[in-house]
Amino acid sequence: MYKLIIGLFGVPGLIMLFASLSLTYATLSFRVNATRTPGVVVDLEPRSGSKGRSTYAHVFEFTDAGGTVRRVTSSSSSRPPAHEVGAPVVVYYDPANPNRAHTAGFMANWFLPCLMGLFGIVFGGIGAAFLVSEIRRLRRRALMRRIGRRVRGEVSRTVMNKNLKIGGKHPWRLHVRWHDPITGKNHTFVSEDLFVDVNGLAGEAIDVLIDSDDPTRYWVDVSALEKSARLNRKAG
C-alpha cells in the first residue's frame, strides 16, 4: 500500500517539479535573447473559465525593430484581467520571430512555473515522507531479523489507526502482549500499520522479534498475515 502511495504522489511530484524547472529555464532563456520594447493593451479576449465564469487574456500591440506594428494575444488569462485596455506594458519579443512575444508580469511569466512548483513540492513531499517511512520500516525489519530474538506473544487487541486513511480505508495495528519469563515483566508491542483483515486475531499467538538488550526495539512479525493477504487478492 505504501509503495502505491509513493508512486501516486512521488512520481507526479517529481514530474511537476521538473516541469516547473523547465518552464523557468525557458522563460529565463527567452528573456536573455529577447528584445524589450514598450507596448499597449488594445483589447481583452474572453475565455471560458471554471463554473461558467470567463477569464480574460489581454491583447497587446508593439512596434518591432523593423517598424512593423505587431498584435499578440497573451497565452495566460485571469479574472479580473491582469491589464486594462489602454494600459502601457513592457513587451519582450523574439527578434527572429516578433510574433513570439509576451508582456512582463507575474501572470504571463511566473504563475505557471510557481503553480507547478507548488504542487510538485506538495505531492513530492507527501511521496518523500512515505518513502522515508517505508525505508525505515524495511530497515527495522531487516535489523530485527538479523539480531532479534524471536518470542511468542498474544494479540491482546486490534486497533484502527484513524490518523491515516488511504484509499478510503484506515489501517489496523496489532497490540501484542508478552510476558518475559526471565525478568517477570509484561511487555506490549504494537505492529506497523496493516491493510489486511485482522478480524478474529485477538487472542491469537504471533511472533515478535526483539532486541534482547533493549526490548523497546522490536518488530511484530506480520509477514505471514501479509503473505496471506497477497494470496487472497490473487485468488480474488
**pLDDT for position 34:** 95
Q: Are residues 70 and 152 in the same domain?
A: no
Q: Which one of 90, 114, 138 terminates a domain?
A: 114
Q: Is the pLDDT of residue 198 over 60?
A: yes
**pLDDT for position 231:** 54
Q: Are residues 154 and 68 in the same domain?
A: no
How far is residue 205's CA from residue 222's CA, in Å, rounded to a whole number? 11
The answer as to whether 42 is a domain residue is yes
Cα-based angle 225, 231, 233 (whole degrees, multiple of 5): 105
**pLDDT for position 41:** 96
The answer as to whether 69 is a domain residue is yes
Distance of CA 74 to the CA centre of its chain: 30
Q: Is the pLDDT of residue 18 over 80?
A: yes
The answer as to whether 201 is a domain residue is yes
**pLDDT for position 232:** 59
Average pLDDT estimate for 22-33: 92
Q: Are residues 174 and 106 in the same domain?
A: no
167 burial via Cβ count (<10 Å: 0-12, 13-18, 19+): exposed
Q: Which one of 94, 114, 134 terminates a domain?
A: 114
**pLDDT for position 53:** 82
Q: Are residues 91 and 26 in the same domain?
A: yes
Q: Are residues 11 and 99 in the same domain?
A: yes
**pLDDT for position 173:** 93
How far is residue 47's CA from residue 55's CA, in Å, rounded to a whole number? 5
The answer as to whether 121 is a domain residue is no
Q: Are residues 89 and 155 in the same domain?
A: no
How far is residue 199's CA from residue 182's CA, in Å, rounded to a whole number? 32
Q: What is the pLDDT of residues 111-142, one digit of tens each?
A: 889 999 999 999 999 889 888 888 888 898 89
**pLDDT for position 82:** 86
**pLDDT for position 217:** 92
Computed over every residue of the chain, the mean pLDDT equals 89
* The model's pTM: 0.65
Q: Are residues 94 and 155 in the same domain?
A: no
Q: HSE, CB side, 13 Å, CA atoms: give it for residue 26.
A: 12
The answer as to whether 189 is a domain residue is yes
**pLDDT for position 85:** 95
Number of domains in the chain: 2
The answer as to whether 46 is a domain residue is yes
* Cis before 113? omega within 30: no
The answer as to whether 123 is a domain residue is no
- The residue segments making up the domain with residue 211 are 148-235
Q: What is the pLDDT of residues 84-108, one digit of tens each?
A: 999 999 999 999 999 999 999 887 7
